């Protein structure tokens, strides 16, 4: 069965996370093929990692002040401000050759595809070799580079996270188009002022965006075209451009209504870390 490529219009936080879960649900029920999705966010949003305590990560009043939405992801990792970025998601069975024998192998394959795509913009990324330590799990997702995440000039450009369930994988990732992610510290609770100061420093010194590298604005469509073309050529997979099925659309509507728009999900208490 060919893979499906989806390039979807910019969406709200609840919509984006509901679509990714609906794709995951359909794939693990053998109702849809493995899928690569590329998308962006409007309005900007903070996504909280699956196992984080939302009350410690984000101040709802500050987010309302700046018109920023809040959502909890299905994948692990730390909080991210999604603005001026290309986000990808991939859903596939664990036993598909593209997934490799371990989760790390899929991280490596996806990162190599993104590195190849970025070379078309004269951006030369490399994969980080070290695993992220656990000591800074309350920081921002882009404050450290985990193994196989992409850095340029020693600074993080791409971050990724996974969820595995019922022998299937959902992998999320963000490619920074511009520096707007550095506004995240102003959205965390005031009582976390020491962490806010540390986060400002790390985001300013350890991250980099394509606009900062190239000295010009890089638009979503420009990078999405290069990434989709590189998936076709590098991964040696057959792709069909597609749409959400009727079943997936119904699942999206249900997930928005019952989960991703509800504070009970977004601000649930800290749980055991799951990726």
Q: Strand 168-176 relative to strand 239-241: parallel, antiparallel, unpaired?
A: unpaired
Residue of 63, 104, 141, 249 marked active site: 141
| DSSP 8-state code for residue 7 | E
DSSP-derived 3-state class of residue 99? helix
Task: Say if residue 15 is exposed, middle or buried (CB neighbours under 10 Å; 0-12, 13-18, 19+).
Answer: buried
For residue 86, list its beta bridge partners.
175
H or E element in which residue 173 lies: strand 168-176
DSSP-derived 3-state class of residue 198? helix
Q: What CA–CA distance (Å, rounded) separates 58 from 267?
A: 9
Q: What CA–CA distance (Å, rounded) separates 205 from 251?
A: 41
Q: What CA–CA distance (Å, rounded) separates 260 from 22?
A: 12
Which residue, 20, 93, 43, 76, is CA-closest to 252?
A: 20
Q: Catalytic annotation on 141?
A: yes
Q: How many CB atoms lie within 10 A of CB 74?
A: 22
Bond into 9 cis (ω within 30): no
Active site residues per annotation: 141
């Amino acid at each position: 069965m060919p893979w499906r490529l989806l390039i979807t219009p910019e969406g709200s936080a609840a919509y984006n996370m509901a679509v990714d879960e609906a794709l995951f649900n359909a794939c693990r029920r053998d109702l849809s093929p493995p899928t690569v999705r590329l998308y962006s966010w409007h309005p900007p949003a903070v996504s909280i990692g699956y196992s984080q305590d939302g009350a410690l990560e984000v101040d709802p009043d500050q987010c309302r002040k700046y018109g920023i939405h809040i959502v909890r992801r299905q994948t692990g990792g730390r909080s991210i401000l999604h603005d001026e970025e290309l986000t990808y998601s991939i859903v596939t069975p664990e036993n598909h050759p593209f997934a490799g024998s371990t989760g790390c192998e899929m991280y490596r394959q996806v990162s190599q595809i993104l590195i190849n795509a970025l070379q078309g913009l004269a951006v030369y990324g490399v994969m980080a070799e070290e695993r992220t330590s656990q000591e800074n799990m309350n920081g921002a997702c882009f404050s450290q580079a985990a193994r196989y995440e992409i850095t340029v000039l020693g600074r993080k450009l791409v971050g990724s996270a996974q969820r595995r369930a019922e022998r299937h994988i959902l992998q999320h990732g963000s490619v920074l188009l511009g520096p707007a992610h550095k506004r995240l510290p102003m959205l965390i609770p005031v009582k976390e002022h020491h962490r806010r100061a540390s986060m400002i420093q790390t985001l300013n010194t350890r991250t980099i965006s394509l606009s900062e590298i190239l000295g010009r604005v890089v638009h979503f469509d420009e990078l999405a075209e290069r990434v989709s073309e590189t998936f076709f050529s590098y991964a040696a997979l057959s792709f069909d451009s597609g749409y959400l099925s009727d079943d997936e659309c119904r699942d999206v509507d249900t997930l928005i209504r019952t989960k991703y728009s509800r504070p009970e999900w977004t601000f649930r208490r800290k749980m055991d870390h799951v990726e």
